[in-house]
Amino acid sequence: MADLTTNFLGITSPNPFWLASAPPTDKEYNVRRAYEAGWGGVVWKTLGSEGPPVVNVSGPRYGAIWGADRRLLGLNNIELITDRPLQTNLEEITRVKKDYPDRALIVSLMVPCDEDSWKAILPMVEETGADGIELNFGCPHGMAERGMGAAVGQVPEYIQMVTEWCKKYYSKPVIVKLTPNITDIRNPARAAKAGGADAVSLINTINSITSVDLDLMAPQPTIGGKGTHGGYCGPAVKPIAMNMVAEIARDPQTAGLPISGIGGVTTWRDAAEFMALGAGNVQVCTAAMTYGFKVVQEMISGLSEWMDDKGYTSTADFIGKATPNVTDWQYLDLNYVTKAKIDPDACIKCGRCYIACEDTSHQAILMKEGRVFEVDDSECVACNLCVDVCPVEDCITMVELPKGELDERTGRKRGDYANWTTHPNNPSAQAAE
């Protein structure tokens, strides 16, 4: 069995699966259970400054969207940082770290944007023996209105400044957690790096309204007839999170900056995908909140099976392996040709590929006598919508046209690699020679 031991910023954990800072990591009781269940690390629920803690709403905190069979696909929340006293949390962190020295324990922090506040809290955190800190610059609701969380995370200069303070008053690794609620994720990542951050973690939750109560005429969750935007997470945010991870991983200015991947990780495969794009480990919240801590068992077994299959002996073998293959659209090979192919034996004759192509795409699927579906290569543009709407896995596949073969749609033979930068239709094309 593959060794899942992961070294992230010099912090080793038995596997790359950490629990993200959130309710599952809000207190000693939960964290002990998480470690017992097999989680490699935990980012403690965000702590605030000393003094009266924040107060949460006592009405519903979550909104949700579901797929078939009411499977939770997306969750949003209007919860704030920990609402328990700082000292209680610090004592618990100290105890837990002592009992689980082989597991990663990171303390998430969010205090006001002035040096004194950071100077005050960091030594206390240092004393707990935790392995590092994570700066929560992402919380999109409640805290931003107090000049914290996303309010800081959206201003690169502040990120750099706070990171510098942390490096000054704290000796262990500093991870900056990024908010996705910005236009270009590379800017805050660059600022974190400039401030001396050891790593970035992303994403925090996305501003969202998941649903509207059509009787109350108010967003959900509804508190006394009103609602507010919350932070979106769960499987639905994974594509957004992965793009942001990849953007940072392939940005020359931040290349090599360690990344902790967060957002929608639900299975071993999600984790492998994040890591292939450049994340050194992953953090999980919604999957644990949906299924309990036991889900990590499937993540552990799945990842090691896959690593064994591929001959990877350590996670370092595949971390970032897909990063070089993330490129800009303009560099894609415009001479690469595939055609959809329907396996008649696997086909259950639902006709969804046909109607999708007929109504909304390129009229390239023929519906023949007896509900036999066939691709018309002379019309197929290879968009693969049919593959995506087919309910049967691998029933429709995209088959590559070998070089030199005729593409019946264009009437041209497949040529060598050529991209948009040299394409004749591109007004700013450079000559190929």
Ligand X SMILES: Cc1cc2nc3c(=O)[nH]c(=O)nc-3n(C[C@H](O)[C@H](O)[C@H](O)COP(=O)(O)O)c2cc1C
The binding site for other proteins (CB under 8 A) comprises 68-70, 348-352, 354-355, 367, 371, 391-392
374 vs 366: CA distance, rounded Å: 5
- Is 185 a binding residue for ligand X by CB under 6 A? The answer is no
Nearer to other proteins, 214 or 432 (CB): 214
**How are the residues of the chain apportioned to helix, strand and coil, as percentages rounded to the nearest 5?**
35, 20, 45
Nearer to other proteins, 294 or 371 (CB): 371
Whether the Cβ atoms of residue 315 and residue 263 lie closer than 8 Å to each other: no
Count residues contacting ligand X (CB under 6 A)?
28
Tell the smallest beta-carbon distance from residue 173 to other proteins (Å).
45
With contacts defined by CB under 6 A, name the span among 18-26, 273-281, 323-331, 359-367 that binds ligand X.
18-26
- Is 260 a binding residue for ligand X by CB under 6 A? The answer is no
Inter-CA distances, 321 with 112, 251, 284, 301, 315, Å: 39, 15, 22, 21, 11
200 vs 153: CA distance, rounded Å: 12
- The first and second tokens of residue 46, run together, are 């965000």
Distance of alpha carbon 58 from the chain centroid: 29
395 is catalytic: no
Collapsing DSSP states into helix, strand and coil, what is residue 58? coil
- Is 31 a binding residue for ligand X by CB under 6 A? The answer is no
> Binding pattern to ligand X, positions 235-254, x when CB under 6 A?
--x-----------------
Give the one entry of ligand X, other proteins, none that residue 23 binds, where binding means its C-beta sits below a cut-off of 5 to 8 angstroms depending on kind: ligand X
Nearer to ligand X, 66 or 417 (CB): 66
Distance of alpha carbon 413 from the chain centroid: 40
Tell the smallest beta-carbon distance from residue 220 to other proteins (Å).
15
Distance of alpha carbon 317 from the chain centroid: 21
Rg (CA), the chain: 25
Tell the smallest beta-carbon distance from residue 334 to ligand X (Å).
35
Nearer to ligand X, 154 or 204 (CB): 204
Tell the smallest beta-carbon distance from residue 356 to other proteins (Å).
8
Nearer to other proteins, 164 or 358 (CB): 358
Give the one entry of other proteins, ligand X, none that residue 233 binds, where binding means its C-beta sits below a cut-off of 5 to 8 angstroms depending on kind: ligand X
3-class SS string, 146-205? HCCCHHHHCCHHHHHHHHHHHHHHCCCCEEEECCCCCCCCHHHHHHHHHCCCCEEEECCC
252 vs 190: CA distance, rounded Å: 10
With contacts defined by CB under 6 A, name the span among 120-128, 207-215, 232-240, 321-329 that binds ligand X.
232-240
Tell the smallest beta-carbon distance from residue 212 to ligand X (Å).
20
Whether the Cβ atoms of residue 262 and residue 203 lie closer than 8 Å to each other: yes
How many Cβ atoms are within 10 Å of 127's Cβ, its own excluded? 11
Give the one entry of other proteins, ligand X, none that residue 46 binds, where binding means its C-beta sits below a cut-off of 5 to 8 angstroms depending on kind: ligand X
With CB under 6 A as the contact rule, the residue among 103, 141, 177, 190 that binds ligand X is: 177
Tell the smallest beta-carbon distance from residue 286 to ligand X (Å).
3
Measured between alpha carbons, how far apart are the two ends of the chain, in Å? 51
Nearer to ligand X, 210 or 419 (CB): 210
Contacts (CB under 6 A) with ligand X, residues 270-299: 284-287
Q: DSSP per residue over 347-383, as a string? A: -----HHHHHHHHHS---EEEETTTEEEE-TTT----
Choosing from 113, 139, 233, 386, the catalytic residue is 139
Nearer to other proteins, 255 or 348 (CB): 348
Inter-CA distances, 417 with 315, 404, 408, 414, Å: 33, 12, 19, 9
Under the rule (CB under 6 A), what is the footprint of ligand X? 20-23, 45-46, 75, 77, 79, 81, 108, 136, 138-139, 177, 204-205, 233-234, 237, 262-265, 284-287
Residues belonging to the active site: 139
